[in-house]
Amino acid sequence: MTTPLPPQPTNDAARAKLVEALVATGAEDRAAFATLYQLTNAKLFGVCLRICGDRGAAEDVLNEVYLTIWRRAGAFEPGRASPISWLATIARNRAIDWRRSAGRGSAVPLENAPDVADDAPSAEDRLVQGEADTRLHLCLDQLDDKQGGAIRSAFFGGLTYAELAERDAVPLGTMKSWVRRGLQRLKDCLRDD
């Protein structure tokens, strides 16, 4: 006879904890900022590393990311955006800024990225994240090829709008529209779940 698994935290509980830490950070609560860092540093480091392609640069960019978060946390609106999306956008933008200022081209493919220390999440976190990832990919698959491909390349591949427009031989404004409309459809799909 097998023993039942303990109840797993829901996505809502993990999100609520992150929102609480982010809102308290906005009120300049240093303990909440430390909690926020513990909850998000591995994911945000991964975003920075994927775009920068260099561990040292990614660490430097991550420091800038958390300085930005400390300064801007008060502007976070819980009902308007997912906390991890808000944070990952800051990390992505800072990493792209670094890449532009360093005169680098496109992001380093994941297979060529340097090894990262294993800060593996717990089994609980992997289960919660796995469910969220599955929902995200199901919603991405519902987008048309242009929108889905652009979003995947921008957010998973670290490409800028200009790089996407050049790759697909379309005007920059067209690419921005594809991504914006795709993100809105993605948001609606994820909200419906």
Residues 62 and 139 in one domain: no
Give yes or no: residues 32 and 94 share one domain.
yes
Specify whether 27 is located in the same domain as 110: yes
Kindly state the average pLDDT of the residues 27-47: 92
Neighbours of 3 (CB within 10 A): 5
Q: Do 86 and 109 sit in the same domain of this protein?
A: yes
Q: Would 2 be classed as within a structural domain?
A: no
Same-domain check for residues 115 and 127: no
* Residue 94 sits in the same domain as residue 173: no
- Among the three residues 100, 119, 138, which one is the final residue of a domain in this structure? 119
Least confident of 46-55, 81-90, 117-126, 132-141: 117-126
Residue 65 sits in the same domain as residue 151: no
Give Cα separations from 67 to 60, 177, 188 (angstroms).
Answer: 11, 31, 31
Tell me whether residue 136 is in a domain.
yes
pLDDT bin (cut points 50, 70, 90) of residue 125 is low
Q: Which domain holds residue 102?
A: 12-119
Residue 6's pLDDT band, with cuts at 50, 70 and 90, is very low
Note whether 51 and 134 are same-domain residues. Answer: no
Predicted local confidence at residue 10, as pLDDT: 54
Q: Could you say which of 119, 134, 156 is where a domain stops? A: 119
Is pLDDT above 80 for 118?
no
Same domain (yes/no): 114, 142: no
Residue 147 maps to a domain: yes
Joined together, the tokens standing for residue 24 give 């308290």
The runs of H, that is alpha helices, within the chain are 11-26, 30-52, 55-72, 83-101, 123-141, 145-151, 161-168, 172-192
Q: Specify the higher pLDDT residue, 10 or 73.
A: 73
CATH at 39: 1.10.1740.10
pLDDT score for 5 = 45
Mapped onto helix, strand or coil, the DSSP state of residue 35 is helix
Q: Does residue 66 share a domain with residue 94?
A: yes
- What CATH number is given to the structural domain containing 171? 1.10.10.10
Task: Give me the number of domains the chain comprises.
Answer: 2
Of the pLDDT bands very low, low, confident and very high (cuts 50, 70, 90), residue 8 is very low
CA distances from 182 to 9, 142, 160 (A): 30, 10, 16
> Within this chain, do residues 91 and 177 fall inside the same structural domain, yes or no?
no
Tokens linked to 70? 């400390």
Whether the per-residue pLDDT at 15 is higher than 60: the answer is: yes
Q: What is the pTM of this model?
A: 0.55
